[in-house]
Amino acid sequence: MIPVIKKAWLYTFCLFLLTFGCTSINSSNRENTPNKQTSAPSGITISNAERTNELRDRIEQISHAAQGRVGVTATVLETAQSVTLNGNQQFPMQSVYKFPIAMAVLAQVDQGKLKLDQKIRVETSDVLQGSRILDEKSQGMEFSLAELLKYMVSESDGTSCNVLLRLVGEPRIVTEYLRSLGINDIVVANTEKELAQDPAVKYRNYATPDATVVLLRAFHEGKGLSKSSQALLLQLMTQTTTGSKRIKGLLPDGAVVAHKTGTSSTVNGVTAATNDVGLVTLPNRQHMAIAVFVSDSPANGAIREEVIAKVTKVAWDEWSK
């Protein structure tokens, strides 16, 4: 009986050793077998940083056609994807400054200091060259504040801008309003009349592309304005009649763009400012805030506008994927 028990015990022990050894070998083989998901060759997936660098390189290549200074900042507001070229440099705004002026005017409406339906008399002495509301031979007329806002923003009328600046107090009030929103690199220092009289003055009224996009984000998020004022200004910027070949130039028909342009005169063959800034609704319903400033450029108007259009289009293509 005892020999039988010993044989059974020996058989069990051998079976245990055999089973343990096979398990160890299989486990070792599994550990040494490459994982197809984790050991794929590196470089197949392009990182966000690499894509951003490639986008910036394309924008820089496009900018060379202007033969001047080009500043660009673009951001997808919902995802924080961003690209910038000379984003911290100062550029003359020209009529882009009507965007923060409009915000400051509407802020005073929200505060009860002004009313959209109040009547404001515009005199012949207020008229600037190229005025959309009066010419120098016209008699003075009354306009509502809402009408002047539309002329200033949607049609970039300088006469309306001057009248509204006088209404809020002075240009400095607009800059102080921007500071209250935390915007430090945009300065409104002069009236439209002063800009027209001295070419050097335009450089005192500057913005960086970075700060402009921060302002566009603040506007989009409703900071500094009531919902009704935000909606009104967004509508006026969407109805902009100027600069159709800039931000909107190469975008698909029907693309929703709320923007404000700015253009200086050309002196001795050089144009100080050809600009466009705004909010673009992407196909996925996200929003791109973009600011493109072309400064001190000897290129003709078509080329300067094409630079802005191409910059916008490559950002649109990248972030619409």
Residues marked active site are found at 95, 192
For the stretch 283-298, what's the b/e string if a residue is b when 16 or more beta carbons lie within 10 angstroms of its beta carbon? eeeebbbbbbbbbbbe
Is residue 86 a contact partner of residue 70, using CB atoms and an 8 Å limit? yes
Amino acid found at 112:
G
Separation of alpha carbons 3 and 14, rounded Å? 17
Residues whose CB falls within 8 Å of the CB of residue 197, separated by 6 or more in sequence, listed in order: none
Q: Which residues pair with 207 in a beta bridge?
A: 91, 186
Separation of alpha carbons 195 and 200, rounded Å? 8
Separation of alpha carbons 161 and 158, rounded Å? 5
Separation of alpha carbons 148 and 75, rounded Å? 31
